[in-house]
Structure 1
């Protein structure tokens, strides 16, 4: 970021002296449809969040089940540095459950919007204020720190929202939370709302924004710009419906774009994201900011050339900042510099002619819609290196015939020491038929047997490259391996067999 942009940002922000991260992965994040964490899984995530350095961890909703109380107690016994929080409705029994879980901080809430008053709670404005105040006073009387949420704040009449905030603040609430329960805010609306609240209240303000329109992170960032003291977040943006503000997105925007370091060990973000993804079963999209597989992946030749010279040309931050790694993807848009860099990385040295053939093969695979992995590249390069050796036997043609109720037939044409030979054979499958034909053609040149055959799809999908590895031996006891890569499994098998046979033939003639 240029100095002018940095100064412009700071001039337009009203940052709080202290900004806190309130992580609710274990509570709101677990409310992601289809997600249910075990006690041990919650413990794993809590430990990692603590190691990351978040200020507060909402460990669950103790009143919802005995299991929630048990997991909260176990996490409490870990003696973590993060403040541990329990959720509670504005009911004494819910707050008792937080106390039973041995927690010291309660996040209590009640709906305040007309929709919640009329259709969910069926309570008057006065009754809701009374419940809210009673719960805050009850929690404070029992020694708890209290954060009060006016659920559905953003659809609540402003004067009534301020009225209930004033009442709970007078009752002793330590934080006032503003939930955008159905994610209707935009950054402009957020700016107006939070600025108004900050102008009217001295008590710390927290925000809890949902992502229904994809604006949770932008709105949380705007709230912090306007002086909000705390943001509720989840790892990977998990949560009800479309989720909550993403911890990694908010923290890294503050750190990278604004130079605001919240004291978190951000190098742990990628591994924590993967852990949460694995335990919840919610896989992140490859293009997920910060932690997605493609967050630091590059294919375009122009982009890769810039990245190789200076990563800042096409990256807003380094992958190492979040414990991620840069990935150069090979495909139809790849330039020569990217391929050369990859080959150097894997200590593969090709001459100019060999490189051109490998590069053309990668381009061809890319044009066919395939993304070429590192393993693909290595296999293609090794195959090209192998082809540079003397090859007494070369395949010149292959035709396969298969059908219902007919034995597969392979017609193979080989050039052996400059002489072309052709024959056809049947087999239990096309590969077997082709290998039988090769055996017939080479019987007067060398007698070999196949000792080992391994076939692997280097990458998934119907367009996967097939890599075949074989070991053949002659009857003098010599052994030689052979390897080949091709999108056609039959051709890959034949080329691997011929690679091995040619090595044995060269040994025989040495």
Structure 2
């Protein structure tokens, strides 16, 4: 570890330094410059770290445990045997967070290493110890915006608090990774360097690495030569290494895309001595997102000169997983993974592609990404071209593939030729082709209503299965069950009626309904017999959650479904059935908005 030539002392201030010359809130921020030129210093070994399951999750509906494990598997294969994707970081707070960490640790992969993320609070540190992790990120906000305006502390108080938790980590033999939040608005020599120098002193004494993550929280960092602190990345990384004494291998960059610079900023951090660049799959992250892992992978190969064991084809697998399993829409023109990133539309470009694919393709995308160069449809495409487009874009294989003799193909091609006969000069867009395919091949598409129905059913399953797992519910004691059912009814107004049935088919709970429906259910008393109902018989028989077909409620006249699930005791024996009648149209309204709202409902 290189020792800095000068020891910097913390500069305590009575008022926050908000750098108003550079960040006038009522104007676009400014970029200061100096006359200093810093030479590049690319580390001999550099790598990628992943925040898909931490910062990436803050920008989208939470992943399930299975989805986290699936994505972790793909990151492992993408990384290759040399650990180009070196680490992943995880939240450690909820039951689901902990289960996901445990499942990933069970894989036994060397890379990506599983690490944690906690706040700078001693109480949080026990989570790291409980999970048995070797490294954890610690939130150490370093700008006066955060210290004064959010934490309501002085610089000395904040620094002391951060150092306490770092010392605790070192005492436990755990590597602390200090996340210097908002470093591109921080007083570099008044706080950042004094803090970092102290971290390196503690690291030397403990003979344990103390890592430093430079967090460009608001995307203010700029890659330009001569750009001054606090925004200039060249100055910032150089200063952390030479003035702060941080070895390249302890240094990491984490950026955001508020000003469209997230990838070039990460590359600049690499070039000027930062070993690790942090990112997330598809650039997910708070607000405008983090560096996209797929972009970092290609940039890494370009800078290094070889792939160092990376399997770039996994990039396409990840994109397909997000599309098919998570129903996430990737913009067609999104680099490397969008449906049309390697498709040319301009007629003159199409002519070039037909002569030689290299003219308008970035590299051999078929070999490196399993993505052959795309074609666009014109009057010259023929029936075979239309059939190829349909099979490719609808991902039809085997018996589902259409050939040029399919009636729909000839109808679509007829429409195309008529367009050009009427003077069209541009190629047919994918949106137009998709609309034609939906019109003439409707059997290959799932309707929006069907998608909503599926989402609604998934939500209903989640609610029922979550409740029957609660210890109070397993007791079959109505006094413990009914408060939970009432709370569920309050939180989810689309539920019309909730009830518990014993294994004889007799209702054991009082009528739990919405207030407006209470009088309608007065005839249903305790011990009402439901033993002949499918929603009772099927879970008893199969031990699985059951959902009925649609029916019109006799009580309310609403279109309903019933969802039911077995209740098990601690010996996992079925002791009852929990069911709820759901007003389906009300449930659809809840899932017909954003996916974020869907997740709020689930909680």
The one of 328, 353, 357 aligned to 2:375: 328
SS in 1 for 2:139: strand
Find the aligned partners of 1:359 and 1:98 in 2 and give their Cα distance. Answer: 61
Instruction: Determine which of 8, 18, 41 is the counterpart of 2:45.
Output: 18
| Distance in 2 (alpha carbons) for counterparts of 1:303 and 1:347 | 27
Contact 1:73 1:102 in 2 (8 A): no
Q: Over alpha carbons, which structure has the higher Rg? A: 1
- Please report how far the alpha carbon of residue 190 of structure 1 lies from its aligned counterpart in structure 2 after TM superposition: 1.9
Q: 1:226 aligns with which of 272, 282, 285?
A: 272
- Partners of 2:288 and 2:358 in 1: CA distance: 32
- Tell me the distance in 1 between the aligned counterparts of 2:383 and 2:327: 37
Q: Using the alignment, how far apart are the partners of 1:263 and 1:272 within structure 2?
A: 18
In the superposition, relative to structure 1, how do residues 127 and 12 fare at CA in structure 2: closer, same or farther (>3 Å)? closer
The structure with higher relative contact order (CA 8 Å, sep 6+) is 2
Partner of 2:291: 245
Give the CA deviation at 1:230: 0.3
Matched, 1:27 2:41: no
CA distance in 2, matches of 1:41, 1:341: 38
Separation in structure 1 between the aligned mates of residue 46 and residue 417 of structure 2, nearest angstrom: 53
1:88 aligns with 2:118: yes
**Counterparts in 2 of 1:374 and 1:146: CA distance versus 1, 3 Å:** same
Deviations 1:453-506 (A, max 9, x none): x9635999xxxxxxxxxxxxxxxxxxxxxxxxxxxxxxxxxxxxxxxxxxxxxx
Deviation at 1:177, TM superposition (A): 0.8
**2:267 and 2:425 mapped to 1: Cα distance?**
41
Counterpart CA distance in 2 for 1:263 and 1:146 is 28
Q: How big is the shift at 1:182?
A: 1.0
How far did residue 214 of structure 1 move? 1.6
- Determine if the alignment matches structure 1 residue 285 to structure 2 residue 314: no
Do residues 270 (structure 1) and 280 (structure 2) align? no
CA shift at 1:255, angstroms?
A: 2.2
Shift of 1:25: 0.4
The answer to whether 1:162 aligns with 2:205 is no
Contact 1:237/1:246 (<8 A) preserved: yes
Structure 1 residues 304-342: Cα deviation after superposition (integer angstroms, max 9, x where no partner): 222233322112222231233321011xxx584x66994
Alignment partners' CA distance in 1, 2:303 and 2:358: 13
Aligned-residue CA RMSD (Å):
3.5
| SS class of match (2:132) | coil
Q: Contact 1:61/1:88 (CA < 8 Å) preserved in 2?
A: yes
Where 1:187 maps in the other structure, the secondary structure is: coil
Trace 1:141-220 onto structure 2 (pairs within 5 A): 141-159=171-189, 160-172=191-203, 173-188=209-224, 189-200=232-243, 201-203=245-247, 204=249, 205-220=251-266
Match of 2:77 in 1: 51
8 Å CA contact 1:148–1:176 kept in 2: the answer is: yes
**How far has the Cα of 1:267 moved from its partner?**
1.0
Q: Given that residues 200 and 246 in structure 2 are in contact (C-alpha distance below 8 angstroms), is that contact kept between their aligned partners in structure 1?
A: no
In structure 2, the residue corresponding to 1:58 is in which secondary structure? strand
Distance 1:131 1:280, change over 3 A: farther
Contact kept? 1:107, 1:147, Cα under 8 Å: yes
**Kindly tell me: are residues 134 and 364 of structure 1, through their superposed partners in 2, closer, same or farther at Cα, counting changes over 3 Å?**
farther
2:342: which partner in 1?
296
Q: TM-score, normalised by structure 1?
A: 0.64
Q: Is the 8 A contact 1:22 1:233 kept in 2?
A: yes
Query: Post-superposition shift, 1:30?
Result: 0.6
SS of equivalent to 1:135: helix
> In 2 relative to 1, CA 367–303 (structure 1 residues): closer, same or farther, beyond 3 Å?
closer
Q: Distance in 2 between matches of 1:254 and 1:93?
A: 38
Specify which structure has the higher proportion of strand: 1
CA contact (8 A) 2:52 2:88 kept: yes
Give the deviation of 1:120 after TM superposition: 1.6
Q: How many residues align?
A: 365
Of 78, 85, 108 in structure 1, the residue corresponding to residue 107 of structure 2 is: 78
Q: Name the CA distance, whole Å, in 2 between partners of 1:327 and 1:371.
A: 12
Which structure 2 residues correspond to residues 333-412 of structure 1 after superposition, within 5 A?
Answer: 334=378, 336=380, 342=385, 360-361=417-418, 363=420, 370-371=428-429
The answer to whether the Cα contact below 8 Å between 1:45 and 1:276 also exists between their aligned partners in 2 is no
